[in-house]
Amino acid sequence: MDDCLFCKIVNGDIPSTKVFEDTFVLAFRDIAPQAPSHILVIPKKHIGSVAEIDTDNSYVIAHIFEVIPAIAEAEGLTGGYRVVSNCGSDAGQTVNHLHFHILGGKALSLEMA
């Protein structure tokens, strides 16, 4: 996707602070952190949002959830963390490339909306 911000980060056209990378997944620090640790985990292959997960690409999603615990452990999030994915405009999705926020490093508010 030529005009996708996170595809540009995957390609290295836009710099990011990487915390994890493998064949399928990239994780990097959010540019505007909402918690002491705020990491975005994305598939390298473009998927628009949770709404585009299907049987062809769900192996990548499974893999994302396999690497999230390792990322959280490396980040020292021993007290726990939140994993969030905003899907669509009502949820406040601002970048249309599927991403999972990992938020932690403090006691998070329980407010969800």
**Residues with catalytic annotation?**
99
* Identity of the residue numbered 26: L
From the CB of 102, what's the least distance to ligand 5GP, in Å?
11
Tell me the window of 16-24, 51-59, 78-86, 93-101 that interacts with Zn ion (CB under 5 A). Answer: 93-101
31 sits in the region (left: phi over 0; alpha: psi -120 to 50; else beta) called alpha
Cβ atoms of 51 and 88 within 8 Å: the answer is yes
User: Token pair for residue 42?
Assistant: 């994305």
Among 29, 44, 45, 46, binds Zn ion (CB under 5 A): 46
* Identity of the residue numbered 72: A
CA angle at residue 26 from 110 to 96, to 5 degrees?
Answer: 65
Tell me the window of 24-32, 51-59, 69-77, 105-113 that interacts with ligand 5GP (CB under 6 A). Answer: 24-32
Q: Which residues bind ligand 5GP (CB under 6 A)?
A: 5, 14, 16, 28-32, 40, 86, 92-95
- Residues near Zn ion, by CB under 5 A: 1, 4, 6-7, 46, 97
